[in-house]
Structure formats: C-alpha cells, structure tokens
Amino acid sequence: MAEENSRSKKTIPPYMKAISGSLGGIVEASCLQPIDVIKTRLQLDRAGAYKGIVHCGSTIVNNEGVRALWKGLTPFATHLTLKYALRMGSNAVFQTAFKDSETGKLSPQGRLMAGFGAGVLEALVIVTPFEVVKIRLQQQRGLSPELLRYKGPVHCARMIVREEGILGLWAGASPTVMRNGTNQAAMFTAKNAFDTILWKKHEGDGKVLHPWQSMISGFLAGTAGPICTGPFDVVKTRLMAQSKTVGELKYRGMFHAIATIHAEEGLRALWKGLIPRLMRIPPGQAIMWAVADQITGFYERTYLTNAPL
C-alpha cells in the first residue's frame, strides 16, 4: 500500500512542464504566424476592406510582400515561448496546491481553478505587453520602412512607454485576463479528459502518447475557448491597437468597447476573426502538445516509471 501511494504521488515537476511548453511554443509560432497576422487585420478592419481570410491574406502579400505575413514574429515567438513556459509551469504548481492533501487527487473543480489561475498569471505577466507590441506592429501598412511608425518590437515598446507611459503596455489587460483565464481553464480540463477518454492516458503512468494522439487531443481541447471568448479577444485587440498619441481614445475600457462595437457594427462584430482564430488556436494547441507530450512522456518513462512506450 505504501509503495502504491508513493507511485501515485509521483508527478512531473513544474520545471519540466515549463520546458516542454516553451519548446512547443517555438514550433507553434513559426508555423502559424501568418494566420495570426490575418486574424489581427480582420479584427481591426472597421471599413470592410477585407472580404475574408483568403482575400485578406492575398491583399497583404500583394501590397506588402510575403514577409508581411510574418510581421511581429519576434515578439510573437518570444511571447509564445515565455507564455507556454509560465502557463505549463504555473498550472503544475496550482494543480499541486489544489490537490487533496490526503488522497493526492485533483478534482475537476481543482483542475479548472488551476487552469484559470495559470491563464490569469500569463495574461498579466507576459501576454498583454507582448500582444500590445505585436498588434501595433501588425496593424502597420506600407512597404517602406521609413513610412512605418514603429521600426521593430524594441522600438515599438520604447515608443509606447515614452508616449503613453509604462501602463500603455498593459492596454486591454482586463479582456486579456478574462480571455486567457477562461481559455486555460477549459483547455487543461479538456486536454486531460480527451487523453483519458481517447487514449487511457493518466499522468505518471509512463505511457507516452504518439505525436498524432497528442495532436488530436490538443486540437479538440483548443476548439471551445475561441468560441466562448471571441468578444474578449476582439475587445482586447481594439484596446491594444489604439494609441493615446493619435487623439481621444475611442474605447474607454472593456465594457465600453463591447457596447460601442455592438452599437456601431452589430453583434457579429464581437466575433470578428473567429474563423482565423479557429484556424490558429486548435492547430497551435495540436502542435504545442505534440512537442510537450513527447518531452514530458520521456521524463515520465525515464524517471517516474519503467513502463514501455
């Protein structure tokens, strides 16, 4: 019994979860940056200049070149790497905190709370400032560098701090917290459920999922969040894109932005960019989990159990 309890308490340490997440983030960013650029342009398109995803992508390529589809890649890749490291590591810490002290088991409510906590933490520490810089870079139009207001991510961050104050880097923090907290609560809970239901995989059992199995679980887990949090994502983008130096701010906060967008553009506008989000987030989760599960699975098999692959 003592040996069984000892085995049941073995878990992957938070630092390994953080490493697996950061490596998965690098791969994901490199593959999916063009979809993120298109999503941002669609969300910022108030005049209806773009007719859809394909038209938006082709317009960007025709007017600005193919490289424009990777605008903001440096902050996006850095942001994803740090975000996933913090998300996976903090989720592991929160899960440990929410486990039953006697049985060592994590309840569904505890898993939800751990995911929400990880999402809030990543939103405040990493996501908001990096996405402000990324969105400011992505909304720029033009081929000539001298015509661009921001010359790069570092220059963009410096300009924002100089002109809007340090809090300018945290524009749109409220909807970002709501979006990320809800997303991660749903994603970690769904990923665990799909791993258990589809593949009979439990953490610490030494079973290493094949990459395609991780991709299916990750893809399915990544679908619910974008639909539920669409309005938060649109509002976040609008708040982050507006600059105090241009004049009076159009949106005064999260609720004012939601009301204004609904009044001026209709209810459907709060879900602008949903299709490219669904094209990016579920595949992104599939890629990230395929990498992360291989790393954590190797650790489980090597250090926690002697179970075969």
37-85 confidence digits (pLDDT tens): 888 888 888 888 898 889 999 999 999 999 899 887 887 788 789 889 9
Tell me: pLDDT of 217 over 80. Answer: yes
275-295 confidence digits (pLDDT tens): 888 888 899 999 999 999 999
pLDDT given at position 246: 63
DSSP 207: P
CA dist., res. 134 & res. 129, Å (int): 9
**What is the pTM for the complete model shown?**
0.77
* Residue 272 in tokens: 């602008």
156-210 confidence digits (pLDDT tens): 999 999 999 999 999 989 999 999 999 999 999 999 999 999 999 987 777 889 9
User: pLDDT band at residue 247, thresholds of 50, 70 and 90?
Assistant: low
250-263 confidence digits (pLDDT tens): 888 889 999 999 99
CA dist., res. 238 & res. 222, Å (int): 23
- Higher per-residue pLDDT: 124 or 11: 124
Q: Comparing C-alpha atoms, which of 65, 37, 73, 87 is closest to residue 222?
A: 87
CA dist., res. 40 & res. 54, Å (int): 14
Tokens 């992508």 found at: 57
